[in-house]
Structures are given as C-alpha cells and as structure tokens.
Chains A and B, each alone.
Chain A
Amino acid sequence: MSVRRWGGEQLLLALPVLFLVVFFYGPIANLLREGLTKDGTFSLEFLRTILTDDYFRHVILFTLWQAFLSTLASIALGLPLAFILTHYDFPLKRIVRALTIVPFVLPAITVALGFALLFGRNGYLNQFLMGLFGLSEPPLPIMYSLAGIVLAHAFYNAPIITRTVHAAWERIDPRYEESARALGASRFFVFKDITLPLILPGLLSGAALVFLFCFLSFPIVLSVGGGRFSTIEVEIYTRVVTRLDPQFLNYKIGAALALVGLAISLAVTYLYLRLQGGLARQTEQLRPRPTAPLFAGVRDLLRPTKLFVWLYVLVSVILFVGPVAAIVVDSLREETAEGARWTLRWYSYIFTPNYEALVGDSPLRAIVNSLIFGLGATAIAVPLGLIFAYVIARPGFAWTVRLRRPRAGEDVRSRRSLGDTLLMAPLATSSIVLAFALLRAFNAPPLRLVGTATAVIIAHAVIIFPFIVRALVPILESLDVRLTEMARSLGASRWRALREIELPLVATGLIAGAVFAFALSLGEMSATLMLARPGLNTMPVAVYRFLSQHSLGAPSAMSVVMIAVSAIAFILLERWGERALRF
C-alpha cells in the first residue's frame, strides 16, 4: 500500500479510537484484571468460583435460558407481523411499520411499568377478564414469573424480528414464488421450500440480535421478575451496589461475572455479524411485491389465513398497545378515599422544581438532566461515530488495517467479522458492566469522574456509539465513490468534496443517527442507576425510584413524557432513517 494512505484519514481515526481506549477498553480491561487477581497476583480463583459454584452456574444458565425463551417468543410474536406487512395493504400501514422502531427508543423501564399495570394480578387485563367471566382468581399470572420476563422481552424485541424479516422478505423477488407456483407448488410448499430458506438468514440475524439484547437485559428482569430472579447483569448490580463486604470480594466476583458475561455476549455478537454478512445482497427487483388489502369484506374474513391474521392482530394490539395505554391511563388517574378519578396532578408534580427526597432531586431536574446528558452524549458520539463509520465503510479499509495480504482462499469475510466484533464490543457489553468498569477506573485522580455528570455523559456516549456506527456504515457504504471522484476531477479538494458532496448526501441518515442516539441515551437506565448521585438523576432512574411509591401516577406521568419524546424520535426516524435502522 502506498505511503499516501497513511495520511489524514488514519489520524482522524485516532480520535474515536482514543476515546474508546480511554473510556471503554481501558476500564473494561482494568475490570477484567480485577476479576483475575487476588491480593495483587494473577488468580483464577474467582473465575473458578463463578464457573463451579452451583449458584453462579444457575445464574449464568438462567440468563441464557431466559434469553433463549425470549428469543423464541419474540419470533413467534414478530414473524406474523412481518408476514402481514409484506403481503397486505391497509390504512395506517406506514404508521404500523414505523412503530417497529419503538423498541429501540422506548426505555425498558417503561415497559416494566406498563406490564405491571396491565398484567399485574390486579392489573387492567386481569380485572377485565375476571369481570367478564366472573372469576375469583386472576386468569393470567404473568407478573413476577419467568413468563412475565419472557413476555415483556417479547413485547420489547418482537419488532426487531419483524424489521429484519420484513426487510429480507421484501427483497425476495416475487418471481421465485411465482415460478414455484407455476411448477405446481401450493402456497404451503411455496412458503416451506422457497420463502422460508430465503428469509432464514434475516430471521437468524434478527434472532441473534434479540438474544443479545435479552441476555443483557436489566430493568425488565429486575422489575418484572422481582427478587427471585437473577441474571448475570442483575447479579453484578446486586453485588456491586448492595452486597458490599469489607474485603470487597463482591467486587471481584462481580468482575469475574462480567468476564464470563462479556465472553458470551461477544460470542453472540460475532455470530450476529457473521449472519449479517451472509445476508443476500439486494437483488435488483423490477416489480414491487403485490399486496392484497387486509380488509376484503366479511366473507374473506372467514378464510383460515385471514382468521389467523385477525387473531394475531387482536393479541398484538393487546400486547403492544396495552402496556402503553395502561401507562397513559394511569398517569391521569388518582386513587382517593372515594375511588379513582381523573386528574392532571401527576403532570404538574413531575414538572415541579421542588426537591423530592425519594428521587434525591427535583423531578424537573431529572427531566432536564436527561435532555442535557442526551445532548452531550450525542454531541460526543455522533462525530466520533461518523469518523469511525466513515473509515470502516471505505472499500480500502480492509487493506489498511490488515498487516498482510490475505492468503489465497482465506475467508476475508470471517476475518472482517472478527475485527468487527472487537470494534463492536461496546454493543456487546452491558451498561451495567460498563458503569461498573467506569466506577472502578475513575475512582482516583487524575481522572476522578465518579459522581460527576461527565461520567454519565461518557457512559452514555460509549453505549450509543456502536449503534451510531452500525447505523451509519450502510449509509456511507452506499455513497457512490464516483460522485467524490467526479468532484475531485473538477477541482475540489478532499475536504471540500467531503463537506459539499458527501455530507449533504448522508445528511438525513446522519440526523437519523443522531436522533436515534439521543433517544437511546434518554431511555438508558442501567448504567445511570449505577452511577447515580443526587443531582444526576435522569427520567428512567426517577421512574424506577417512583415505582416503589404508593401510587403509580408519578412514574406513569414521567413515562408518558419519555414515550412522547420517543415518539417524536421515531417519527423522525421513520421519515429519514430507514437505512439507519437496518439491522
């Protein structure tokens, strides 16, 4: 490679790399080191404890098991919607499609709250069913059980499956299916022999991502499961935050757990990236897939496919709309001695600047903090992520990083996946582990960040960074190199071409990425909870704190605010960010 390649580009790459090294790789490595030392010397003792002790094995296996079940449930819930979106036309289709972005922007804690309201033994749904059928016991014992955790995860992640499968399905040339039909295949065989194998890569890659998210899940396990369930993340949190011992053994155990958790999630990330790479490149499609109207008259309703579709619509409306509706309703009601009545007091309460000991802050401050942290994290992560994505997306990148030419027959793609995995490690790392690592790393001068807003902003920036990169890379990859070459041949300098040709073209994608990042930061609870101090609370943390209050009006009202912001985010993303959210 020519010397010229090592120029401004590589130096620019140093910025995000430096950021990651100082605020991610460094602290994580430090944390892992902590888990592997005892009294200052290398020791596998804690790791061995984690892997041999019955209790920790249970925790690890449970984490894997609930993630697996949640993935299956997400597939069961998300696949039919992908089918409906691909084959049918109906009013508000665009909005429904847009709603599949929601799980990326809705804070997990609001899901937990909505579930408690809707599915609690005394929640809206059980009450409704009990009243309808005159039962004495609630028929749906979902909360505080594994079923509850799995269902909440499915609610949260099914749209991801829908997105990936729908995207893959739309890319299938309808002529494959038509050829099969002409050859005599019934609809069933067409699906089994042709469609399914072709959407399988998309399905699997979506499933891998869902598995990862469920594996790393924290607020939902904590709130919906209750004290009888512990996953790796919950266990780390519990040990580090509440189970302190004077010898700090729990720190070590937490670090060892983090090590194991990280290993597993990196493996899953690698798998996901491999599956992603294997997805068929988009084939040029001359004819858009024909769609049939969803409502086609009463007689059509009785056809088995349609009947199933409508049943699914009913269930999914309850499941997807229910929790959010429950939150909105609850935010407007209050229990008095005479009974329940409508009120706006919760909203005036959460916008009050008065100090609330329960939050350690004023609720208004929590809202303001969320916005400021979000802006700060976005302002850091977006430029760094853009630089990073830009360099990765260039076709020459694979060469500049590799130190030697790939040997004949060597799978370039698998190597790329390996590198990608390491680069995407922040995605695979849970926020709990990250916060833990930052806590341990920045405990002392010169970088004494513990208890500062900076720590929170940085934690958020690290968390959202991989999402931004993954959103921007496909956009930048699709940028036609020839446009830049054209500009250069007309006399524009490298920077000028960048500024005037390339950036405007990726502008909408960039904005979408920024909006996405902001929404993610807004909804982040786990790391913030670990790093929380009075004055540093955000909305999700406030909601979590409010959850133990007697009435759920306050957390509901604050959740509605978060949902509203998320809604704005997702409308913008729907407009501009189709590519940005192509997972």
Chain B
Amino acid sequence: MRVTVKDVTKRFGATIALENVSLDVGDGELVALVGPSGCGKTTLLRLIAGFETPDAGDILFDGRSVLGVPPERRGVGIVFQNYALFPHMTVFQNVAYGLKFRQTSPDFVWTVRLRRPLAGEDVRSRRSLVRELLELVGLSGLENRMPAELSAGQQQRVALARALAPSPQVLLLDEPLSALDAKLRERLRLEIKKIQRTLKITTVYVTHDQEEALAVADRVAVMSVSHLEQIGTPQEVYNTPATEFVARFIGRGNLLPGELLGVDATRVLVRPERIRLNQSANYTLSGKIIAKEFAGDAVWLHVDVSGTALIVKAPSPDQALHEGDAVHLGIDRSDLYILPSDRRSPPTP
C-alpha cells in the first residue's frame, strides 16, 4: 500500500502545525519521520490515521483519497508512545481486539503467516493468530497477563502485536520506544525493523531520536517546525543534508566557516569521524584540545582552532590524548560537504 501525503496544511486555532507538507511512502517501505518536539510529526501521523482532517491538501492510499474515511475503515495500525493497552483486558484480549472487526473482510491478506499451516489446522482461528503474533514479538505465554503486570518493553511489544493483528495495510508508530531505556531501545528497534521487513508492511515511524531514525529507516524525513526539510536515505541525510537544520539535527557535525579552511563557501560541513588526528591531508588545522569525552568505543575531542570549536571523533585505543594537548587535524576534500545554501554563486565570466 502506497501512502501519499499531498501538500497538506493543518492548523489548530491560530497555530500552524503543518504547512504544505508532502510525503510519499512506497509499498513496504519504512519511512522515519524525525524532528524536534512540536515540529508536527505526530500531527502528520494522526492525519494519516484519520484522527484529524487536513485543512488543505489530500491523503491518498494507493492513489485513492481517504479524506472522508473514518479511522476504523482506513486499515491502519497504530502504536502510541504510551502503548495505550486497554487496562481492563488481558494481553490476549488486547491483541485479539482488532480481529473482531476485520476477520471477515476479504480485502485483507494474512501477512503474518510464518510457516505453512499444518493439515487440518483452522487457519482462521483467532486464538492461533494471536499466539502467532505473540510469538512473533517474542512474548509467548503471556496471554493471560494484565497490562499492569507487564514491563514497559513487554507492553510495547503487545501494542505492536495488537496493531498488527488485523493485518493493517499501513503501520504507524508514534515514538514507540521513547519511554524505554537506552539499551532496550536499541534492541527493540532492530526487532521492529525485522518484523516490518518480514511482513513487508508500509510503515511510518515517528521519532525525535535521529540516531534511531537512521538505524531503522529505509528513508528518513526530517521535519522542522511545520514543514519538511529533507527526505532521503539515511546516508543521504547524513552525508548530504539539504539544509542547515538537517545538518545540525542529524548526527554530530562541524559547520566551519569557509575561510578557516580556505574553501570558497560560506560554511563547510565536516563530520567528526572524518577528521584525522595528527595526519596530513588536503586541509590541515592546528588547535588545542579543550575537552575530552570518553565514550567507550570512541573518544570525542573538543578542539579549539583559532577561536572556533570543533568536535573530533577518534577511535579510543589509538590515542593517548589529554586536555591541553596541541593537535593537528587533517581534512580531505572528499570529507567536506557544502550545504546548498552555503554555496557561493559561480563567478560571472
């Protein structure tokens, strides 16, 4: 199912939440919608789900507008940040809930089957489907627990299973991992990715964590205050950001004045890991280490170069560097990137 958001604007009273936003999500693709709080990414998600109606623009599923269609008929599955598991129902009842309404619909295909059904097995049995889903998310055996008895990570997975049960065409995830601690987040995002890949389900994944977005997405859509800054693959967004906002939001980076390196541009983007320490390269800078962060697998150095602060990432075992040390930084031409807005117009002949 292809999801197209066409030139959508949404206002809440006097505030503009979204302005002329367009987005195209291909069939089976996972697009991460990432941006700071309040940029409108959740609003966009709710528009796709049908909980809000755009003031202008259109939303299309496989080319057909769904603007008049209420959420219960759009075939979207949604997972909220707080999971919103029905507190008065067991895990089984939660996951099985959507099956009440979709089971007999002929449009939907069982996408969940992991193996061929055994001879005589009732393919349509709700119980077996729920069990399979719980198995899929790694929660077998917990059918009869109440949500209050589960850990956060378990709740999240139940929410996912619940959303998937009625075989939705589109999966919407609204900051599904924000409430979890770092380690769990890393583990679960890969699981989500894996499930998404297996089911080949079109997914929009909203998050404020850019690292998470880069890790799971096929494509990343970066949003800032009510509009879209850039859509591209994680690599594109990281290495060739379209705007300063994207450059600053995605990953850590250095935006250096062009003169510092002697490059003909207003500013130059250099990623920290591309800077070589005490090695020669196309461009060389000398500076002093003013701070040092040990990050286990790397060392982040804050270096002062003629009044400008840079961040450099160095693999940790190699360097014995201390604050106050003088260093030389080497940057190759291929390590540079100039934002479109920073390019100087070519000199007139």
The short answer to whether A and B are in direct contact, CB under 8 Å, is: yes
Q: Residues of A with Cβ closer than 8 Å to B?
A: 173, 175-176, 178-186, 189, 193-194, 197-198, 280, 286
Choose from A182, A183, A198, A286 the contact partner of B87 (Cβ within 8 Å): A198
Instruction: Decide if B82 is an interface residue (CB 8 Å cutoff).
Output: yes
Q: Is B40 an interface residue (CB 8 A)?
A: no
Contact with A along B71-91 (1 / 0, CB 8 A): 111101110111010111000
Given A183-B97, A185-B101, are A198 and B88 neighbors across the interface (CB < 8 Å)? yes
User: Out of A181, A193, A198, which one reaches B72, CB within 8 Å?
Assistant: A181
* Docked complex Cα distance between A182 and B173 (Å): 12
| Of B72, B162, B163, the contact of A185 (CB 8 Å cutoff) | B72
Q: Which of chain B's residues has its CB closest to A182's CB?
A: B78
Whether B84 lies near A183 (C-beta < 8 A) is no
Contact of B49 with A182 in the complex, beta carbons under 8 Å: yes
Instruction: Indicate if the CB atoms of B72 and A186 lie closer than 8 Å.
Output: yes
Quick one: which of A179, A189, A193 contacts B84, CB cutoff 8 A?
Answer: A179
- Checking B73, B84, B101, B168 against A175 with a beta-carbon cut-off of 8 angstroms, the contacting residue is B84
Q: Are the CB atoms of B82 and A184 closer together than 8 Å?
A: no
CB atoms of B162 and A179 under 8 A apart: yes
Given A183-B162, A184-B100, A178 contacting B84 (CB threshold 8 A): yes
Note all chain A residues with C-beta closer than 8 A to B2.
none
Q: In the bound complex, how far is the Cα of B76 from the Cα of A198, in angstroms?
A: 24
Residues of A within 8 A of B258 (CB): none
B interface, CB within 8 angstroms of A: 49, 51, 70-74, 76-78, 80-82, 84, 86-88, 97-98, 100-102, 159, 162-163, 165-166, 168, 172
With contacts A182-B163, A183-B98, A183-B101 taken as known, whether A176 is within 8 angstroms of B86 at the C-beta atoms is: yes
Which residues does chain B contribute within 8 Å of A189, judged by CB atoms? 100-101
Q: Say which residue of B71, B72, B86 sits within 8 Å of A194 (CB atoms).
A: B86
Tell whether, in the assembled complex, residue B88 and residue A197 are in contact, meaning their CB atoms are under 8 Å apart. yes
Inter-chain CA distance A181–B73, complex, in Å, is 9
What's the Cα separation between A280 and B147 when bound, in Å? 14
Is B98 within 8 A of A173, CB to CB?
Answer: no
In the complex, A349 Cα to B72 Cα: how many Å?
65
Query: Which of A178, A180, A198 is in CB contact (< 8 Å) with B97?
Result: A180
Give the Cβ gap from B155 to chain A, nearest Cβ, in Å.
12
Contact indicator A173/B72 (Cβ below 8 Å): no
CB distance from A180 to the nearest CB of B (A): 7
Chain A residue numbers with a CB within 8 Å of B101 are 183-186, 189
Q: Tell me, rounded to whole Å, the shortest Cβ–Cβ distance linking A197 to chain B.
A: 5
- Supposing A173-B82, A179-B78, A179-B80 touch, asked if A184 and B88 sit within 8 A by C-beta, the answer is no
What is the chain B residue whose CB lies nearest that of A190? B72
Contacts of B168 in A (CB 8 A): 182
CA distance A179 to B166 in the complex (A): 12
Q: List 5 A-B contacts (CB under 8 A).
A: A176-B87, A182-B78, A184-B102, A185-B97, A189-B100
Please indicate the chain B residues that have their CB under 8 angstroms from the CB of A185 in the complex: 72, 97, 100-101
Chain A, residue nearest B51 (CB): A178
CB of A189 to closest CB in B, whole Å: 7
A183 nearest CB across to chain B (Å):
3
Contact A182 B86, CB 8 Å, known A175-B80, A189-B101, A193-B97 = no
CA gap between A210 and B267 in the complex, in Å: 72
> A178-B71, A179-B162 are contacts. A184–B84 as well, Cβ < 8 Å?
no
In the bound assembly, the distance between CA atoms of A130 and B71 in angstroms comes to: 49
The complex places the Cα of A181 from the Cα of B162 at a distance, in Å, of 12
Min Cβ gap A193→B in Å is 7
Q: Which residues of A have CB within 8 Å of B49?
A: 178, 182
Cα distance A46–B71 in the bound complex, in angstroms:
65
Distance of A219 Cα from B88 Cα, bound (Å): 41
Q: From A176, A182, A184, A186, name the one whose CB has the most chain B CB atoms within 10 angstroms.
A: A182
Answer whether A182 and B71 are a contact pair too, CB < 8 Å, given A173-B82, A173-B84, A198-B87: yes
Judging by beta carbons under 8 Å apart, are A182 and B72 in contact?
Answer: yes
Q: Once the chains are docked, how many angstroms separate the CA of A176 from the CA of B87?
A: 9
Residue in B51, B73, B84, B102 whose CB lies within 8 Å of A176 = B84
Determine whether the beta carbon of A184 is less than 8 Å from that of B166: yes
Say how far A199's CB is from chain B's closest CB, in angstroms.
11
**Most chain A CB within a 10 A radius of its CB, from B76, B82, B163:** B82
Asked whether A184 and B98 contact (CB < 8 A) given A178-B84, A179-B84, A198-B88, the answer is: yes
Complex formed: what's the CA distance from A172 to B77 in Å?
21
Beyond contacts A175-B80, A183-B72: 6 other A-B pairs, Cβ-Cβ < 8 A, are A173-B82, A179-B163, A181-B70, A183-B97, A184-B73, A194-B86
B86 in contact with A178 (CB, 8 Å)? no
CA–CA, A193 and B93, complex, Å: 11
Neighbouring A residues of B86 by C-beta, 8 Å: 176, 179-180, 193-194
Residues of B within 8 A of A193 (CB): 86, 97
Closest residue of B by beta carbon distance from A179 = B84
Chain A minimum-CB-distance residue to B52? A290
- Complex Cα–Cα for A328 and B159 (A): 57
B residues less than 8 Å from A280 (CB atoms)? 87
User: In the complex, how many angstroms separate the beta carbon of B92 from the nearest chain A beta carbon?
Assistant: 14
Provide the bound-state CA to CA distance between A333 and B74, in Å: 62
Which residues on B sit within 8 Å (CB–CB) of A286?
81-82
A180: chain B residues within 8 A (beta carbon) = 86, 97
